[in-house]
Chain A
């Protein structure tokens, strides 16, 4: 196995390229994804190499991008549509919820809509409003969709390809503040290292389980390292998929540790973290030594960027959550 150091951004780009090489039906569309290569350069050089028919610069209209993407899928294509920023997905929300998520079931399986919706998500880049949101709960709440997060370059490379191969619609979240973090990727591996919808235990531990996804995985791994120095053994689970949710991976861990902290950027109120807390309480009540703790964005709109460091859960807030779990 030969691995190469890559950023998440370059790994997604390489994954898109591989998918386009493997399947001529894979088409990309979005705003500024062609000549510019996307505002984050995730689609850089792809239009030059695959042409304007396969890497489509669209009019500035998200519902249009989404709706025509669904139409392309109905014609047998596998569109990967880019929503430029998390907070710009709402004009496409109707098409995603009303059509994308439902066409397969309402046609009793006659229709498949294998669309991937790429969304750079989350805060931490000092952006203006509508550029820092974590809106996964809306989509996880919509059955018929699958919702996944990559958190590292290796997953980024493989998960985007797996999402494109999936016959169901997939919301593919990319942690934008981690785009340029590096990691080892085996670009020539014969197959993906793990199933797209399975959780991955990225650090084993015995005292507390820490469940996280997307940009919070790095924060949680850092927190676990610090905690170890203080004598606390944290097991970190990168959920990778929040719909479907690999609940068994969480309950197995909680049965071992007895304690669960869920860390997310999104507000805690009616969130993926809330759902995990409920499921774990139902399924391993007698293994729990403490309530499930949620460490999350505050229950407010995302603040102005000068305040975001107080909003986003950081290493200290994660460790505070761990301490609260351990205090029972």
Chain B
């Protein structure tokens, strides 16, 4: 697109953080920018607490145990992620999608959920999985190729990882429509009212399914919180290749609130998600949270980000690290001390050791997994193929017996 074309289609009023869509033009990459004045931030990168009239009471209601628990979550899931990345490099996993840099967004959101809430994740939501009690080894089993992510969603309120980008937003919206039909919205019973978190990334906002999910949730006023982790990059494409308008502002057009929150601020994400989930459970309908964060590592272990982004940008985001700022704040507030941090580090070491040993000793699946549970009820063609495969395998045994 030429400069003339851009000039001929000026942005409409109200769009900020606008950068030119001309790839030759950008003065500074949008992916290095901060979240702008609309972004909710309770904790600065330096670890300073910013007062916020709307959200302070949510944080004030947390006990020191809760606050220390968030730190433990952040550190432990980062360790799981590091180990999994290393295990992939050693050939133990087929692939790994790192959450490095997004720990606060995921732990904040995951810990804001109640037991009866449900999350519909993409494939990088290891932190939410952790908060929901899914054993990280279940995630690793999927990336090792042992299964396809076979935890029971009902047990954890955490649905299967979804690899086709955006599909899960519609599943989550439909699930929320079911919650409405169960009468589990707006009853004021904190044990009963439920809501859904549907996850997406900035890349997924371009998908039709996400936009259809916004339409359905808006029309039916369903209890779903769309949780977008804008990590600035969809593999190699910066988010200006996905959207011209800021993501959180899209919600306006669908008739529900959109909020940008500092995704590297665990308190901010926790507070905003808590508020939006409460809103959904009480029957006030959907919302969109844009957690403004950064994917510090590659998209997955299969790509090389140095080919498409500059290291200066990564350096800028290193200074916004979610764990370092939270640790500073916990320390300055006297909520946690060196003994606590050391104990968490030791626990992380133990967890890392466990992840390594449990991965390398993980049993291969049984070949019958190919055929079993394709259907609930028997299906003739699957049965025929299983019989054929069994006969084929048995033929080798018979041959060996003859030899």
* Complex alpha-carbon distance, A154 and B128, angstroms: 50
Q: Whose C-beta in chain B lies nearest to the C-beta of A101? A: B374
- Chain B nearest CB from A105 CB (Å) reads 5
Assess whether A244 is in contact with B380, with CB atoms less than 8 Å apart. yes
For B174, the chain A residues whose CB sits under 8 A away are: 67-75, 79
Assess whether A106 is in contact with B379, with CB atoms less than 8 Å apart. no
For B219, the chain A residues whose CB sits under 8 A away are: 59
Q: Is A22 an interface residue (CB 8 A)?
A: no
Q: Is A128 an interface residue (CB 8 A)?
A: no
Q: Which of A69, A103, A107, A146 has the most CB of B within 10 A?
A: A107
- Indicate with 1 or 0, residue by residue over B171-183, a CB within 8 angstroms of chain A CB atoms: 1111111111110
Assess whether A63 is in contact with B209, with CB atoms less than 8 Å apart. yes
Chain B contacts with A in 135-153, Cβ cutoff 8 A: 147-153
Q: Is A246 an interface residue (CB 8 A)?
A: yes
- Indicate with 1 or 0, residue by residue over B351-376, a CB within 8 angstroms of chain A CB atoms: 00000000000000000010011111
- Chain B nearest CB from A14 CB (Å) reads 24
Assess whether A64 is in contact with B149, with CB atoms less than 8 Å apart. no
Q: Is A202 an interface residue (CB 8 A)?
A: no
Known interface pairs A77-B178, A243-B381; A67-B376 also in contact (CB < 8 Å)? no
Contact of A168 among B179, B180, B208, B376 (CB under 8 A): B376
- Chain B nearest CB from A140 CB (Å) reads 9
**Stretch of A108-116, A130-138, A227-235 on the interface side:** A108-116
For B179, the chain A residues whose CB sits under 8 A away are: 75
- Chain A nearest CB from B232 CB (Å) reads 26
* Complex alpha-carbon distance, A294 and B283, angstroms: 56
Assess whether B149 is in contact with A106, with CB atoms less than 8 Å apart. yes
Assess whether A70 is in contact with B375, with CB atoms less than 8 Å apart. no
- Chain A nearest CB from B93 CB (Å) reads 18
**Stretch of B12-20, B80-88, B159-167, B286-294 on the interface side:** B159-167
Known interface pairs A58-B216, A74-B175; A99-B153 also in contact (CB < 8 Å)? no
Q: Whose C-beta in chain A lies nearest to the C-beta of B222? A: A68
For A77, the chain B residues whose CB sits under 8 A away are: 178, 181
Assess whether A67 is in contact with B152, with CB atoms less than 8 Å apart. no
Known interface pairs A58-B216, A67-B171; A167-B376 also in contact (CB < 8 Å)? yes
Chain A contacts with B in 8-67, Cβ cutoff 8 A: 27, 53, 58-59, 61, 63-64, 66-67
Assess whether A144 is in contact with B369, with CB atoms less than 8 Å apart. no
Count the A residues whose beta carbon is within 8 Å of the partner chain — how many?
Answer: 48
Assess whether A144 is in contact with B175, with CB atoms less than 8 Å apart. no
- Chain A nearest CB from B210 CB (Å) reads 10
Q: Is B109 an interface residue (CB 8 A)?
A: no
For A244, the chain B residues whose CB sits under 8 A away are: 379-382
Chain A contacts with B in 228-255, Cβ cutoff 8 A: 243-247
* Complex alpha-carbon distance, A70 and B208, angstroms: 17
* Complex alpha-carbon distance, A67 and B168, angstroms: 8
Assess whether B374 is in contact with A110, with CB atoms less than 8 Å apart. no
* Complex alpha-carbon distance, A103 and B373, angstroms: 10
Q: Is B215 an interface residue (CB 8 A)?
A: yes
- Chain A nearest CB from B252 CB (Å) reads 18
Of all A-B residue pairs in the complex, the 10 with the closest CB atoms, nearest first, are A71-B174, A67-B170, A75-B178, A68-B174, A64-B212, A106-B148, A167-B376, A108-B150, A244-B380, A71-B175
Apart from the given pairs A79-B174, A143-B381, A243-B379, 16 other A-B contacts in the complex at a CB distance below 8 Å: A59-B215, A64-B213, A66-B170, A74-B178, A75-B175, A75-B182, A98-B164, A99-B164, A104-B374, A108-B373, A111-B153, A112-B376, A143-B382, A166-B377, A168-B375, A243-B381
- Report B's interface with A, CB cutoff 8 A: 120, 147-154, 159-160, 162, 164, 167, 169-182, 208-209, 212-213, 215-216, 219, 369, 372-377, 379-382
